């Protein structure tokens, strides 16, 4: 299990739990929807600063994004 798939699954899971769209989260995190899509599909290798922004946009602590599944 790579970090990428772990991160992507967690982000997508949390986002759906909170019933938010990619567009909404991307907007809050000040990144593009297409990029968030790339992250959620495990195709991008985001920096920890971007991950932090996504976590904030989701209203969770960064550590939640790295929890093993």
Partner DNA sequence: TTGTGACTGCCAGTCCGTT
Partner DNA sequence: AAACGGACTGGCAGTCACA
Least distance from its own copies to the Cβ atom of residue 19, Å: 25
CB of 15 to its own copies, least distance (A): 17
Over the window 25 to 64, marking each residue x when it contacts its own copies by CB under 8 A and - when it does not, the resulting string is: --------------------xxxxx-xx--------xxx-
Dihedral (Cα; 68, 14, 54, 34), 10-degree rounding: 110
Q: Quick one: 45 exposed, middle or buried, by C-beta within 10 A (0-12, 13-18, 19+)? A: exposed
Told to check if 52 binds DNA by CB under 7 A, we report: no
How far is 52 from 39, CA to CA, in rounded Å?
13
Q: Give the interface with its own copies as residue ranges (CB under 8 A).
A: 2-4, 6-7, 45-49, 51-52, 61-63, 65-68
């Amino acid at each position: 299990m790579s970090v990428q798939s772990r991160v992507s699954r967690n982000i997508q899971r949390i986002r759906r739990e909170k019933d938010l769209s990619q567009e909404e989260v991307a907007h809050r995190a000040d990144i593009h929807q297409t990029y968030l899509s790339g992250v959620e599909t495990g195709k991008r290798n985001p920096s920890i600063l971007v991950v932090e922004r996504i976590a904030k946009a989701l209203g969770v602590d960064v550590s939640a994004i790295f929890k093993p599944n």
